[in-house]
């Protein structure tokens, strides 16, 4: 059994969600490493897209931010933020990767404020491009590093980024493209999807050593549980070698 830390597990699990020949809106941190790993392992034709205009970068060198020059390295296009957002609006981006301070059962995310908007208990960084990503990418993958009742809440204090809003049909009623929405939620405990009819978050797989009841207990709302709950695969020696010796050899993120 390989030895790995929590970040490495999240990176490896997220990378497996990226399919070859697709486009992925990639943010700073774990999504960048996941994309780089996916391109080396099983998705050589993955097209990473960065907010500030890099499209199709090789990810041979790890960017440190979405505006880093390495997001343009050997890319197929170097444009700007307006072109990138238009590309998503036109339906050409399959996956979007996001995180948040709070998430609810419908996948709505809060990265704006904890408590009242004014005066706030905690002021957070805000949306950036997150609202656009979740509004227009076909499948949004959410990475939550800490799975507990403070992050998984009955109702987010502020909807920075739309999930399924209040349930079935709510996205479409709000004017968002039909067929878009949250796809998976990756945490330090488990992997969740969204039940197709109710659009509520559902547990589909746990990490090794984690029981379904552990995940349910750590969630601040009623979490649906699939009839068959699987176990997420541990990182392989090859994945860890790539992460540690090629992708993030300076240990910026892992």
Same domain, 118 and 179: yes
144-155 residue pLDDT tens: 999 999 999 999
Mean pLDDT of all residues in 171-195: 97
Pairing of strands 95-98, 23-25: parallel
A 10 A CB-CB count for 223 gives: 19
If asked whether residues 28 and 53 sit together in one domain, one would say yes
For residues 244 and 221, membership in a common domain is answered with no
Residue 71: DSSP 8-state? G
Given a cut of 70, is residue 25 above it in pLDDT? yes
Quick one: 252 and 200 in the same domain?
no
Residues 108 and 211 in one domain: yes
With 60 as the cut, is the pLDDT of residue 159 above it?
A: yes
163 and 225 fall within a common domain: yes
Q: pLDDT tier at 128 (50, 70, 90 boundaries)? A: confident
Q: In the prediction, which pLDDT does 29 show?
A: 87
Q: Give the number of domains in the chain.
A: 2
Task: Please give the residue range of the domain that contains residue 34.
Answer: 1-93+233-254
Is there a single domain that holds both residue 4 and residue 116?
Answer: no
DSSP-based helix, strand, coil % in the chain, nearest 5: 25, 20, 55
Is 222 in the active site? no
Distance (Å, rounded) from C-alpha 142 to C-alpha 38? 17
Tell me: do 132 and 221 sit in the same domain.
yes
Residue 172's SS3 state is: helix
Express each pLDDT in 203-236 by its tens digit.
Answer: 999 999 999 999 999 999 999 999 999 999 999 9
Whole-structure pTM value: 0.93
Would you state the pLDDT for residue 2? Answer: 67
Q: Pairing between strand 113-114 and 122-123?
A: antiparallel
| Residue 1: pLDDT over 60 | no
Are residues 68 and 190 both part of a single domain?
no
Instruction: Share the mean pLDDT of the chain.
Output: 95
> What percent of the chain lies above the pLDDT cut of 90?
90
| pLDDT, tens digit (0-9, with 9 covering 90-100), for 62-117 | 998 888 899 999 999 999 999 999 999 999 999 999 999 999 999 999 999 999 99
> Which pLDDT score, from 0 to 100, does residue 27 have?
86
Average pLDDT over residues 16-27: 94
| pLDDT, position 203 | 98
Does 239 share its domain with 206? Answer: no
pLDDT digits (tens, 9 = 90+) for 42-58: 999 999 999 999 999 99
**What is the domain-level CATH number for residue 47?**
3.40.1080.10
Same domain flag for 131 and 220: yes
Neighbours of 11 (CB within 10 A): 31
Quick one: 219 and 120 in the same domain?
A: yes
Q: What is the DSSP letter of 176?
A: P
Of 51, 213, 222, 246, the active-site residue reads: 51
Q: Give mean pLDDT, residues 3-24.
A: 95
């Amino acid at each position: 059994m390989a030895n790995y830390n929590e970040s490495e597990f999240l990176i490896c699990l997220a990378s497996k969600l990226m399919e070859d020949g697709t486009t992925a809106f990639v943010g700073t941190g774990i999504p960048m490493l996941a994309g780089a790993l996916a391109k080396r392992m099983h998705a050589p034709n993955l097209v990473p897209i960065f907010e500030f205009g890099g499209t199709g970068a090789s990810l041979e060198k790890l960017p440190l931010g979405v505006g880093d020059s390495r997001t343009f390295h050997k890319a197929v296009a170097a444009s700007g933020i307006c072109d990138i957002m238009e590309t998503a609006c036109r339906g050409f981006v399959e996956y979007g990767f996001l995180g948040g301070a709070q998430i609810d059962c419908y996948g709505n995310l809060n990265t704006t404020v904890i408590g009242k908007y004014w005066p706030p208990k905690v002021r957070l960084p805000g949306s950036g491009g997150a609202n656009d990503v979740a509004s227009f990418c076909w499948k949004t993958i959410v990475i939550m590093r800490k799975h507990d009742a403070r992050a998984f809440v009955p109702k987010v204090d502020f909807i920075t980024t739309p999930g399924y809003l209040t349930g079935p049909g709510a996205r479409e009623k709000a004017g968002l493209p039909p067929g878009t929405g949250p796809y998976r939620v990756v945490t330090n405990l488990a992997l969740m999807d969204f039940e197709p009819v109710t659009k509520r978050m559902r547990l589909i797989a746990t990490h090794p050593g984690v029981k379904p009841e552990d995940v349910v207990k750590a969630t601040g709302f009623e979490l649906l549980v699939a009839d068959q709950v699987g176990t997420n695969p541990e990182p392989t020696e090859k994945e860890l070698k790539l992460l540690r010796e090629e992708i993030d050899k300076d240990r910026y993120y892992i």
